[in-house]
Amino acid sequence: MRERRTVEHGDSPLLPSQDPFMHCPADIATYAPGALIRSRQVELSLFGTVRQRVEAWQLAYRSTDLHGHPELSVTTVVLPADAVPDPGRPLLLFQSAIDSITERCAPSYALRHNTRARGSITRLEWLLIANALKRGWAVSIADHGGKHGSFGAPREPGYRCLDGARAALAFSPLGLHSRTRIAVWGYSGGGMASSWVAEMAPQYAPELAIVGAVLGAPVGDPGEILLRLDGGRFAGFPAMVIAALRRLYPALDRAITANATPTGLDLLSRAEKLPPLVAVSRMSGLELDDHLFRPLQEILAEPAVRAVIDDLRLGRSTPTCPLLVLQPVNDQVIHCGNVDLQVQRYLRAGVHVTYFRDRLSEHFSMLPLSTSLSLAWLTDRLEGKPLPAPQTRTVLSLSTLSSSWRGLPGVAGTALAVAVGRPLHGRRAADPVTETEKAA
């Protein structure tokens, strides 16, 4: 392994495209997947302003893109404040709902101090990621969209996150090792990326000790969302997905270029630059058909484009780790039926799945309400506790489950600590753990 370690100075981080740390070496193909190329310490903050008292680094490593070409990828790895060596420390792979193309929303930029990433979902998710640090876990937050922000792309998120785990295990300051237990967690766009991590791991990184994955609102069928959300409140999402995927799939690019009006092409260009929350606001009610010479449904039905849409669908590869899948029944962004089908494909392949469908939650409320349940379930997997029998349940609300509501005060307390910049100390794996602490 060839590694160069740096410590960054200065208060105004460069954008990834301008940052020498992110530049790919000419000999990238000579590195093994996951090989560490360079590292640096970084300072994280909440919304770019409230400094976070944690230990954080960025790792640049070799990974693989959709077409099998070697590339440089980056992950942000974090330890609790003043962490001491602990061979029992697990690693959480958290896949953020980046949900955009713009480089300002890459976690490696959005989470850092004094950056400008207005409208980034990753910044909000940090309030929840911090709960893993309070448990003493190491956390890896990869730029799973890659340097071009490939929102919605299949397989690539799995490669980048799994190679990020390999790099983290080899990075000595984290104190991890080849047998470190690994958990996977993500919601919405992060749930989709986490699904790819779980699906790609058995063949791409079978040596990693992944013990469980939580997939929150994991999309199921990204292609279906393009039509369902078009013209509605969340029409910015299909615009961004099409803008991203036409870079990866020549057939889709040809179809869009041939059928988009000049204003349609300009719209897609603007979508590439918008953070997700800004895109949702500005593009609410957008009808893509108004900017196409032919209806979008007709374009997507073309055989060459249909093959692209089919390539995006989750549940066609088989995870070997147990899964906890969480989905609002009345999700206004991701159709519950698509996630039902993703789960059914896993079950038919023999995957151990616990699936909770929530009647009261909607898309944005379920992530914080499901955080304590997700962490409690992952804690049980990391501690090697027996798995309950696979089940599919529709509940009134996840917050009514004991492992959820008992942990909500702890989640709220951690969010407060993050908001005021208090140090996030984590307990050691060897410390005794009470049932109350497990729930929190």
Q: How far is CA 388 from the centre of its chain?
A: 26
Q: What integer pLDDT is reported at residue 74 of this predicted model?
A: 98
Could you report the per-residue pLDDT of 27-38, keeping only the tens digit for each?
999 999 999 999
How large is the average pLDDT for residues 252-260?
96
- In this structure, are residues 39 and 60 in contact, taking their beta carbons and an 8 Å threshold? yes
Residue 438: predicted pLDDT: 42
What pLDDT was estimated at residue 435? 38
pLDDT of residue 403: 82
Claim: this prediction has a pTM higher than 0.75: yes
The residue that leads in pLDDT, 77 or 10, is 77
pLDDT digits (tens, 9 = 90+) for 202-233: 999 999 999 999 999 999 999 888 899 999 99
Give the residue carrying structure tokens 């497990």: 438
Cβ neighbours, 10 Å, residue 260: 21
Range 186-201 average pLDDT: 98
Q: Which residues contact 312 (CB under 8 A, 6 or more apart)?
A: 152, 153, 154, 221, 222, 223, 245
Cα dist. 228→18, 244, 251 in Å?
Answer: 37, 18, 22
CA angle 315, 126, 412 (to 5 degrees): 105
What is the C-alpha to C-alpha distance for residues 275 and 57, in angstroms, rounded to an integer? 24
* Residues 168-181: tens digit of each pLDDT: 999 999 999 999 99
| Alpha helices (runs of H) in 246-325, residue ranges in sequence order | 250-259, 262-271, 276-282, 296-300, 303-311
- The residues facing 140 across adjacent strands are 77, 93
Biggest CA-to-CA distance, the chain: 65
d(CA 91, CA 429): 12
Domains belonging to the chain, first-starting first, are 4-221+319-439 (3.40.50.1820), 224-311 (1.10.260.130)
- Please give the Cα distance from 394 to 388 (Å, whole number): 17
Distances (CA, A) of 425 to 81, 130, 335, 375, 422: 5, 10, 38, 17, 9
Count the Cβ atoms, other than its own, within 10 Å of residue 172.
10
pLDDT at 341: 97
The two structure tokens encoding residue 23? 């530049």
Of 238, 226, 326, 250, the closest CA to residue 276 belongs to: 238
**C-alpha to C-alpha distances, 385 to 201, 353, 382, 432, nearest whole angstrom:** 22, 16, 8, 16
251: pLDDT strictly greater than 50:
yes
Kindly report the average pLDDT of the chain as a whole number.
93
Of 378, 5, 382, 379, the closest CA to residue 167 belongs to 5
pLDDT of residue 4: 56
By CB neighbour count within 10 A (0-12 exposed, 13-18 middle, 19+ buried), where does 293 fall?
Answer: exposed
pLDDT in tens, 125-144: 999 999 999 999 999 999 99
Other CB atoms within 10 A of residue 87 CB: 11
The whole-angstrom separation of Cα 416 and Cα 436 is: 19
- Continuous H helices in 262-395: 262-271, 276-282, 296-300, 303-311, 336-348, 363-382
pLDDT at 431: 42
Q: How far is CA 155 from CA 41, 193, 265, 283, in A?
A: 29, 8, 27, 28
Question: In angstroms, how far is CA 358 from the centroid of its own chain?
Answer: 21
Nearest to 426, CA basis, from 53, 120, 127:
53
Count other C-beta atoms under 10 Å from residue 15's C-beta. 14
